[in-house]
Amino acid sequence: MTRGNQRDRDRERAAARVGGKGKNKDDGLTPEQRRERDAKALQEKTAKKAAGAAGGSSDAGGKSTKK
């Protein structure tokens, strides 16, 4: 084995780089509560996106993108 402990050191470094990032599965919510929370967040996101698209769809710049 020519690498010695290099592989182990690389794994430790990679784990340190990730740090606290990632998904936290233990958030203290039941699956039903988690679904409700996610559904509410998704509804807010789509409403915000729809409001932005409705407000930005008018051609206020005077330039047309059609050729």
Report pLDDT digits (tens) over 10-49.
999 998 888 765 556 677 889 999 999 999 999 999 999 9
At 57 the pLDDT is 57
DSSP-assigned states of every residue in 1-66: --STTHHHHHHHHHHHHHTT-S--S-SS--HHHHHHHHHHHHHHHHHHHHHHHHHH-S-TT-----
At 40 the pLDDT is 97
Say whether pLDDT at 52 is over 60: yes
pTM > 0.75: yes or no? no
At 33 the pLDDT is 93
